[in-house]
Amino acid sequence: MKSQLLIIPSIDIKNGKTVRGVQGIPELNCKDYGNDPVEMAMIWRTENAKFLHIVDFDHAQEHSKINFEIIREICDSVIIPVEFGGGISSFKDASDAINLGITRLVIGSLAYTDPDEFKKILKTFGASKISAAIDVIDNKVTIKARKKFIEPSPLKYAKQLEEMGVQRVIITDVKKNGMLQGANIELSKHIAHNTNLKVTHSGGITNYKELIEISKCISGRIDSVIIGRALYENKFPCQKLWRVAEAGLFD
């Protein structure tokens, strides 16, 4: 059976507006991105997206909930699952986000800094509701909004997360993120081949060739791709992109 690759558009939000994330840093006043995150979510749904990835930069950087009502409106406005990432640093944060209507949470630093709290979230909401983020710079895992590096290699850290009960990781090469200069597919493949984790690749996807390469990886273990800038800047004919992916033609 041909594998299917889930294409996940990313909507990055800061100060209530859609922004462009480049190497994990929000860039404001991007005229091609539109200002209204809710409208953007509805556009991606119209383009046949089956899942959305939301990054809340205000919550990530300042623990501000200024965007929460917008995120709730997104969840209420589309009939597809919405994934949320940005500053989940406690069980309460996780609960508050889930209560917005979020389908899946992305948790990064907390899994390393407070594994007991992270395990509590996993146990309460279930592993299917959690994606653990592994952000990488120069093959080193970074946490705390890229302000700190930790000792385990990306693969070793992925295995530690798996032992904690994680079922899915989002792998991001931060230097590739938003640069439109190609993706570090080998990093995602390395983790997929050496763990039993489901892998979502994030960062740097620019063209069909990269999607085809990912789709061939280890029987669908890398089963999804988060794409931001390349979609917004029309690097793909969007309707065709999802139609081909859903038909399982990436092989």
The domains of the chain are located at 6-246
- Along the 251 residues of the chain, how does pLDDT read in single tens digits? 455 789 999 999 999 998 875 555 555 455 455 689 999 999 899 888 999 999 999 999 899 999 999 999 999 999 999 999 999 999 999 999 999 999 999 999 999 999 999 999 999 999 999 999 999 999 999 998 778 999 999 999 999 999 999 999 999 988 866 556 668 889 999 999 999 999 999 988 887 778 888 877 655 688 999 998 888 877 776 556 665 555 554 44
Q: Any catalytic annotation for residue 135?
A: yes
Q: Spell out the alpha helix ranges (H) of 53-114.
A: 57-62, 68-77, 91-98, 110-113
- Helical spans, DSSP H, in 165-205: 185-194
Out of 58, 135, 173, 223, the active site residue is: 135
> H or E segment at 226?
strand 222-227
Residue type, 223: D
Given 12, 93, 173, 223, the catalytic residue: 12
CA–CA separation, 115 and 39 (whole Å):
37
CA angle 178, 181, 184 (to 5 degrees): 85
For residue 245, give the nearest of 227, 42, 79 by alpha carbon: 227
- For this structure, is 12 an active site residue? yes
Encoding tokens for residue 42?
A: 């509805």
Specify the pTM: 0.88
Q: What is the pLDDT of residue 46?
A: 86
6-246 sits in which CATH class?
A: alpha beta
